[in-house]
Structure formats: structure tokens, C-alpha cells
Amino acid sequence: MTLLAIVLGTLCAGIGSVWLAAALSFGVLARYTQHMLSLSAGALLATAFMHLLPEAFESGAEPHDLFPILLVGLVFFFLLDKAELWHHGHEHGESGHQHGTQHHDDAHHDHDDHEAHGHAHGNHQHAPVTGSWAVLAGDSVHCFGDGVLIASAFMADLRLGAIAAIAVLAHEVPHHMGDLMVLRAGASNKRMALVKVSLAGAVTTLGGLVGFWLVAQLEDALPYFLVVASASFMYVALADLIPQLQKRLSAAQTAAQIAWLLAGVGLVTAVSALAHGGH
């Protein structure tokens, strides 16, 4: 039952996020992209603080052991982001990186999108060959890690796994939007771009299967996996998503932004209640 839940959860998070990103990038939902950023930030913070961390601390592990893991996790994701930015600037020049950063303010992406926008806008001649495959490779690695985190949550509790899958889906949407932009810059076929990014998203399920075996073998380490997962969600929300929302807006726009962020919190709470009832 747990393995089936992991497969279904990772498929929904990995591929579902790609299709939603396509709807926001190419479809009639494009004007709601800023709202999706607020929703994602709220969902990630709620998942980390209301579910993953409490589950880890209630496992019996010592807080003095878990808090250093949380700190190390946050620093690790910060350094990972820095490494990707450095690699991007090294490969494509400072001008391409600056253009990608400027587009970052209006576009909607996660970690690998710093590289994605540089490929898409910094040098169109090279984007079809190197940019697309580099982004897909990075996306696949990222999705594999998401799968391991989802599996860790499902191994702790089916309700927690469902919440983690929803949170991963939410935070992967901006990420995949950047990927689709890169592939669209290299070819005019939207369908092929969607297929390629969907295949990368499907790697989430592979990560879930590996995570199922890994966590099953290291059951005592489960609280630490949950803390690392919470560090990932907290970093993405606070370092990537919320800074994009810190703009001077009208009162109505600010109210809408706050409402969508609270909706993200409410979504996680509702999923938790439904999953808990079913569980």
C-alpha cells in the first residue's frame, strides 16, 4: 500500500507539475502565474512548519540532533543555489546571467531556472543544443531528489506523504515553467517541449522507488530525512519564491497576494484533513 501511494504521489507531483506549468506558460492560465507563486510559497511553508518538522520531532529524536540537520540543510541548499549561479555565469558570461536575473523578476522558476533563462535569452544560437539538454539533466536530478523526499514522507505516514506530494507539485510548477521556456526557445513545437519536460518530471517516481528502499533500510534515519525535506521547502519558499513577491503593488494586488499565500496554507491544511480522514 505504501509503495503504491509513493508511485501515485510522485507521478502526480512530477508530471502533474509539468502539465500545470504548461497551462500557466502557454494556456489561458498564464495571467495567474503570480498567484501561483504566492500559493506555492504558502503551501511550502505550511508543509514544512505544520507537518514535516512536527512529525520529525514527534519521532523521539533529540531536538539537539535535529536542529543542526535543519541548519546544515538550509546552508546546503543555499550553496547549491550559489553553485548553479556560478556555473551559469562561468558558462555563459556575465551579460547573459544579468539578463537571466532580470527575467527572473518577472518569470517564475525554481533553482535551475537561473540557468534556464540564461540559456533561453542570453544566447539563442546555443540554446537549442546545449541549453535544452543541460536544463533537462539538471531538472531530472532535482526531480529525483524530490522523489526521495516524498518517499520519506510516505514512509512516515500516508497523510504526510500526500501533503508532501502536493507541496512538491506546487514548488515545481515555477521550476518547470522555466524549463519549458528554454525548450520553446530551441524549437517551435510546444508538444515536444512538454513531452521532454514530462519525462524529466517522471524521474520523480524513480526517486520515490529508490527512496522507498533507502528509507526502509535506514528506518532510524527517517526523522532526519524529514528535516532535510523541510529545509528544502523552507529554502525554496523563503529564498526563491517570496523574494519575487516583494514588489511595490497596489493595495488590491497586495491583498490578492496575501490571500493566495493563505490559500496555499489552507490547501495544505485541507489536504491534511482529508488524508487524515481517509487514513
Is the pLDDT higher at 101 or at 163?
163
CA 132 – CA 134 distance, rounded (Å)? 6
pLDDT greater than 50 at residue 114: no
Q: For the chain, give the number of residues.
A: 279
- Residues in CB range of 1: below 8 A, 6 or more apart: 158
pLDDT at 203 over 60: yes
Q: Taken in order 40, 29, 81, 169, is the CA torsion positive or negative? A: positive
- A 10 A CB-CB count for 272 gives 19
Among 77, 267, 40, smallest CA distance to 173 is for 40
Give the span between the Cα atoms of 24 and 173, in whole angstroms. Answer: 9
Among 150, 176, 175, smallest CA distance to 163 is for 150
Cα Rg of the chain (Å, integer) = 18
Greater confidence (218 vs 110) lies with: 218
> Domain segments of the chain: what residues?
2-278
Confidence at residue 7, expressed as pLDDT on a 0 to 100 scale? 94
Q: Would residue 122 be called left, alpha or beta, if left means φ above 0 and alpha means ψ between -120 and 50 degrees?
A: alpha
When pLDDT is cut at 50, 70 and 90, the band that residue 147 belongs to is very high
Q: What is the pLDDT of residues 19-78, one digit of tens each?
A: 988 887 777 666 777 787 888 888 888 888 988 888 888 877 888 999 999 999 899 888
Task: Give CA–CA dist 244/117, Å, rounded.
Answer: 15
CA distance 25 to 194: 11
CB atoms within 10 A of CB 94: 10
d(CA 49, CA 231): 10
Average pLDDT over residues 171-200: 75
∠ CA 209-213-216, nearest 5°, is: 130
Strand, coil or helix: what is 264? helix
Tally Cβ neighbours within 10 Å of residue 105.
Answer: 9
